[in-house]
Amino acid sequence: MKIVLPKPSLDWLVPIGAVLIGVVLYLGNPVVLQTLRNTTFDQYQRWDSRPYKKSPVRIIDIDDASLAKMGQWPWPRTRIADLVRRLQSAGASAIAFDVIFAEPDRTSPSAMEKTWNANPRLRELLATLPDHDAVLAGAIAKGRVVLAHSLENDPRPAEHFAYPYSVATKGPSPLPYLHRYRNTVPALSALQDAAAGNGAVNFSPDSDGILRKVPLLLGMGDEVVPSLVAEALRVGLGADMYGVSSSREEGAGMESLRIGPLTIPTTREGEVWVRFTRGGEARTIPAWKVLAGTVPDATLRDHIVLIGTSAEGLLDLRFSPLGGIIPGVEAHAMALEQILAGDELTRPNWAPGLELSILVTGGLLVGFVALSSGAMLSAAIALLIALASSAGGWFAFSRQGLLIDPVTPGIVVLLSFTLSSLLHHISSERRQRWIRQAFARYVSPNLVAHLLSNPGQLELGGNRRECTFIFTDLAGFTNLMEKLEPAKAVSLLNEYLDKMIHIAFQHEGTLDRIVGDAVAIMFSAPVEQADQRERALRCAEEMHHFSSRFAAEAQARGVPFGVTRIGVHSGEVTVGNFGGSTIFDYRALGDPVNTASRLESVNKQLGTLVCVSEATLSGFPSLPARPVGKLVLKGKTIPLMVYQPLFSADSASIAPTPEYTAAYEHMARGGEGVREIFEKLAQAWPQDPLVKLHLKRLLAGQSGEIIVFTEK
């Protein structure tokens, strides 16, 4: 077995790589991250939407009820003029239309003349009537009216566009960052020239179609133009110009917009985040009530009034972060309300820097902890960072009106934790394999595997169990050590022991000990093996064949390598961990261990190489074997029936089993002429160790099958 040392680790690159991926994704800002971030901000609004408070903003709603009472849309411009005059009379500070008057009124007398194909008399009569658009222009000219236009990318420029305002910029032009269009669809020229304001009604919903921001400035060709919200504020506050502040930092864009006394923080694209409200019905007045004169002037005095529609058929509906659909004019109104109240919802310019700091610091911290300390501590830190980030984001929103993204840093921290924990697990498995591989050089692999699977058993103590033991010893190795150079002798011994132990491990034996050139192997511990006896005998057979070949090859090289003697015995022992708190020694204790050792050493006196007790052979009865005798080992009083297993390579030099067995049984019965029988076998098989053993005993006057040993 070759042990491969672990290579120097580059695991620290994993959290760094995860964080770099996170930084690239954050800076790239893909749609999926935008959606996750916006979904979090939407959830904040659902949890803590802005409560509606009385505000100097009103919506005059051309709703379904107004259409039912006053007729279908479009209404005659004279009716619109009447609506304007009533609002001006009530003292509205600004009247902003979320409706575009891009075409002449089709109900004007001149238009009706063409439609009706009137006779000369009717034509003269129609010519005396005022033009509806002129009537509306006259009402608008009395002041405080903001008209709407819709920006588009049609290459044809508008014939006329009024600029009733001026724009002053502090810093670079914000135009590269604004939502830009090529031109616009404006109101009629006469209406534009009469109006106090001219604002764009365009929105830029996010990729999921939800309206979260309202623009204050937009780009039209090479011009900066205000939105309807900005123009309504400007006219309502009596201002003439806009003051734009843009950051000089590359990519920072627009910072704020000043309108009269108000300085409004914006996104770099010139938008404001809208903090949506629930239950703002009080801000809305049906248009028919104003026309009917039932609305008190005090309800409208000094208010910015937005005229728009909630009628489904007019298709000015938007998706709200609160989960519903709202009229576009309501989004304008909510933006105006929060600006006038100073209750802005902003995503500060420093938010990306903070989020990147959390992303990098948290990702690296969690990743390095996961690599060094494992999953539990790193998971706790990751959870703590996620909770702190989420709590911080919620606190910033609910208390400060700030939008801080906890999602992207959380994803990167999770990515770093996952990858680093996975790598730590893989590395731990790799280290465990290496430790198991290295440990198995000192302890049996099956013992290592058992303790890894059952760590609770790694404690002092033992239990009674029947096991089988193999003891081996190398004859004459002490003398060999004296004849060979130490390095050569150690190398030769290591080569021999390595293969002997490898054979034991192949048969799932447990290495009990190595003492010099002797090896002790046990079976059925720590894991019980029902076939322990057969395993042990097959292992002993393979050890015997290997050691015989190894000795022959060494002798052929001129190295007097001795034979290996093997003893095998089974019995009940105490198996477990012995030693103390300093060191454990897993082994078996009991008489069967000593008996197996004695069987190995008795081979020297018997002239055999392998001795097996009847207790072991009974578990593998099909193995050919010859009876040796009932041995009374030194220090014992009870005879032990012992056999010599007949391995295939040994049969050539011994007497045939039937003849030997018949002679042995005759001797065991105390029959006549036993000595003569063994003398004949000795003449035919002079190298048979058991024949020589029993003939020597018979010649010495001994009889029977019991053999008493006075030496180990």
DSSP states along 71-88? -SSSPPHHHHHHHHHHHH
Q: Which sequence spans correspond to the domains of the chain?
A: 13-32+352-384+403-439, 49-341, 448-622, 648-712
- pLDDT for 546 beyond 90: yes
Would you say 573 and 475 are in contact if contact means Cβ atoms under 8 Å apart? no
Q: What is the pLDDT of residue 431?
A: 64
Q: What is the pLDDT of residue 198?
A: 96
Tens digit of pLDDT for each residue in 633-686? Answer: 988 889 999 999 998 656 668 889 999 999 999 999 988 999 999 999 999 999
Three-state secondary structure of 572-595: EEEEEEEECCCCEEEEEECHHHHH
**pTM of the full predicted structure?**
0.64
**Peptide bond preceding 157 in cis form (omega within 30 of 0):** no
Considering the chain, what is the average pLDDT of its residues? 87
Tens digit of pLDDT for each residue in 426-484? Answer: 766 666 665 555 445 545 566 566 555 655 544 445 789 999 999 999 998 878 877 88
Q: How far apart are CA 31 and CA 480, in angstroms?
A: 80
Residue that is written with structure tokens 């030496």 in the block: 711
Q: How far apart are CA 115 and CA 133, in angstroms?
A: 17
Q: What is the pLDDT of residue 348?
A: 84
What's the one-letter identity of residue 253?
G
Would you say 547 and 596 are in contact if contact means Cβ atoms under 8 Å apart? no
- pLDDT for 175 beyond 60: yes
Element spanning 24, H or E: helix 13-28
Tens digit of pLDDT for each residue in 243-278? Answer: 999 988 877 789 999 999 999 999 999 999 999 998
Please enumerate in sequence order all residues whose Cβ is within 8 A of that of 105, keeping only pairs 6 or more positions apart, or say none.
74, 76, 77, 111, 131, 132, 133, 136
Q: What is the pLDDT of residue 6?
A: 42
Q: What is the pLDDT of residue 507?
A: 93
Would you say 526 and 450 are in contact if contact means Cβ atoms under 8 Å apart? yes
Q: What is the pLDDT of residue 577?
A: 76
Q: What is the pLDDT of residue 3?
A: 42
Tens digit of pLDDT for each residue in 113-152? Answer: 555 565 666 566 655 667 889 999 999 999 999 999 999 9
Mean pLDDT of the 505-525 span = 90
Q: Nearest to residue 60, comparing CAs of 87, 82, 89?
A: 87
Give exposure, 507-543, as e/b (b: 16+ Cβ within 10 Å).
Answer: bbbbbbeeeebbbbbbbbbbeebeebbbbbbbbbbbb
What's the one-letter identity of residue 547?
S
Tens digit of pLDDT for each residue in 26-38? Answer: 888 888 888 888 8
Neighbours of 350 (CB within 10 A): 10
Q: Rounded to whole angstroms, what are the CA distances from 475 to 309, 513, 518, 600, 603?
A: 110, 18, 10, 11, 11
**Distance between the two ends of the chain, CA-based, in angstroms?**
35
Q: How far apart are CA 174 and CA 252, in angstroms?
A: 10
Mean pLDDT of the 194-218 span = 92
Q: Nearest to residue 223, comparing CAs of 161, 145, 311, 140?
A: 161
| Domain spanning 448-622, CATH class | alpha beta
Q: What is the pLDDT of residue 506?
A: 92
DSSP annotation of 345 reads B
